[in-house]
Amino acid sequence: MNDFDQKARDWDKNRMHLERTMAVAAQLQKMVALTPCLMAMEFGAGTGLLSFYLKDHFREITLLDSSAEMPRMAEQKGVPVHCFAG
């Protein structure tokens, strides 16, 4: 178990994480022509906050994270992605 595994359950409760994610999602939408036929891969995906906000803009999103617990939180949110940890 790493440090992020221990922080995973409360990660999304941190307002700074949410605000940063929303800012990144807004910039991606401005800079990239997102279409539902695209596939994406998010490295260091954590709890999938960014993927959650962008899930309707991609056909599929693959999450990668070194924490095993962080992607589990994404699955609990119903993020329709393939999750890999390790």
Q: How far is CA 57 from the centre of its chain?
A: 13
> What pLDDT digit, counting tens, does each position of 24-47 carry?
999 999 999 999 999 999 988 989
| 82: β partners | 62
| The dihedral formed by the CA atoms of 75, 23, 41 and 29, expressed in degrees to the nearest 10 | 120
Instruction: Express each pLDDT in 48-72 by its tens digit.
Output: 999 989 989 999 888 888 888 888 8
* Residue recorded with tokens 């993020």: 79
* Residue 39 pLDDT: 92
Residue 54 C-alpha from the chain's centroid: 9
Residue 85 has pLDDT above 80, yes or no: no
Domain total in the chain: 1
4-13, 29-38, 74-83: lowest mean pLDDT where? 74-83
Rounded to 5 degrees, what angle do the CA atoms 80, 83, 86 make? Answer: 170
Q: Which domain holds residue 44?
A: 3-85
Predicted model pTM: 0.82
Residue 27's domain is classified under what CATH number? 3.40.50.150
